[in-house]
Amino acid sequence: MLGENKVIFSGVQPSGNLTIGNYLGAIRNFSAFSEEYRCFYCVVDLHAVTVRQVPAELRRRTYETLALYIACGLDPEKNTLFVQSHVPAHCELSWMLGCSTMFGELSRMTQFKDKSQKHADNINAGLFTYPVLMASDILLYQTDLVPVGIDQKQHLELARNIAIRFNHLMGDTFTVPDGYISKDGMKIMSLTEPTAKMSKSDPNKNAVVYILDPKDEILRKFRRAVTDSGSEVRYDEDRPGIANLMSIYRCFTGKEYDEIEREFDGRGYGDFKAAVGEACADALAPVQAEFSRLMADKGYLESVMKAGAETAARAAARTMSKVRRRLGFIDLK
């Protein structure tokens, strides 16, 4: 075990602007973990290149993702913040674990099927094997808990299976991680198609509210959000449009559904959508201001990257030494 506290690991791809789904379902909640856990939060740039990237844009988004981590409340003094490609052990362990992962397990990954359809001109080997790299990200730090969205549970289960198999064959090596799904905002839905998850890669920009959207853009998107027939603000899972908006409002205000229903009793969808937009914009304003300040200081962001990579590499080295011995490699000191 790495130190006295248990370990949390999470990673975000720098492959597009982060959404309020990423914020509410994950990043906003991360800062609370640092008091009880040893936290590793990674910008997973290696995962991003399973889809063709423009190099300059990938570099820019890597800085931006790190800045958003900090702007959303992650203190680099209390959390290890780093970039995946700065710790080569992620790739080394991925090869080793790939040799303990079954082809059939990878072929059942639903995200491979989805991404293959979206990127039919680039169905590459990395797209197929990246769940092994994801497992390596997690197992490298002897992770106890992984904050995941519902759509990532399959990948976490694969990581658990790989760890259990390796431990059974080679001896106790890896901590078998558990998943943590936030009750609040665990799945924020599209504003234009509320039966589908809000996705940062959605080609319809009206469907997605990004953390860095200006206030007028946020208000406009919520005004245009799809609602259901009727006009009553009442939570009902059979009315996904209003249920999604109420879920978002609840996350930003802390009000429960019955309280929201009383607040908007007799007022209709127009007033409610305006209020959701205002609550969202007000909550994101300090995050956006801090993000802008951080992006103006690339030297500071690079110092965070360097310190985080050094801390992560030391932790990773302990796991890799054990793995090499288990597999029979000569580990030079």
Catalytic residue among 6, 200, 255, 322: 200
State what percent of residues in the chain have pLDDT above 70: 93
Average pLDDT over residues 303-322: 97
Q: What is residue 115's predicted lDDT score, i.e. its pLDDT?
A: 67
Contact 11, 84 (CB under 8 A): yes
Percent of the chain with pLDDT over 90: 67
- Considering the candidates 197, 215, 255, 322, report the single residue annotated as catalytic: 197
pLDDT at 313: 98
Using a cut of 0.85, tell me whether the model's pTM lies above it.
yes
The encoded tokens of residue 310 equal: 């050094």
Q: What are phi and psi of 294, to 5 degrees?
A: -65, -40
Cβ 226 vs Cβ 193: under 8 Å? yes
Structural domains in the chain, CATH included, are 6-185+298-327 (3.40.50.620), 205-292 (1.10.240.10)
pLDDT band at 184 (very low <50, low <70, confident <90, very high): low
pLDDT per position as a tens digit, 262-300: 999 888 899 999 999 999 999 999 999 999 999 999 999
Mark whether 115 is an active-site residue: yes
Active site residue 113: no
Q: What is the pLDDT of residue 118?
A: 67
Amino acid, res. 155: H
* Tokens 């990004």, residue located: 210
Whether residue 52 is predicted with pLDDT greater than 90 in this model: the reply is no
Confidence class for position 2, pLDDT limits 50, 70, 90: very low
- Going by pLDDT thresholds of 50, 70 and 90, the confidence category of residue 3 is very low
Q: Are the C-beta atoms of residues 157 and 141 closer than 8 Å to each other?
A: no
Averaged pLDDT, 192-207: 89
pLDDT-wise least confident of 85-89, 100-104, 117-121, 250-254: 117-121
Average model confidence (pLDDT) across the chain: 90
Q: Residue 11: enclosing H or E segment and its boundaries?
A: strand 6-12
The SS3 call for residue 18 is coil
H-only helix segments in the chain? 20-22, 28-30, 45-48, 55-71, 89-98, 103-107, 110-118, 125-139, 153-170, 215-223, 240-253, 257-263, 268-295, 298-327
Residue-wise pLDDT tens digits, 110-153: 776 666 666 677 788 888 899 999 999 999 999 999 987 766 78
Write down the pLDDT at residue 202: 85
CB 208 within 8 A of CB 191: yes
Instruction: In whole angstroms, give the CA distance from residue 209 to residue 211.
Output: 7
Instruction: Please report how many Cα atoms fall inside a 13 Å half-sphere around the Cα of residue 1, on the Cβ side.
Output: 11
Residue 22 confidence (pLDDT) above 90: no
Per-residue pLDDT band at 1 (split at 50, 70, 90): very low
Query: Do the strands 6-12 and 37-43 form a parallel or antiparallel pair, or are they unpaired?
Result: parallel
- Please tell me the predicted confidence (pLDDT) of residue 211: 95
**What is residue 16's predicted lDDT score, i.e. its pLDDT?**
64
Q: What is the pLDDT of residue 172?
A: 96
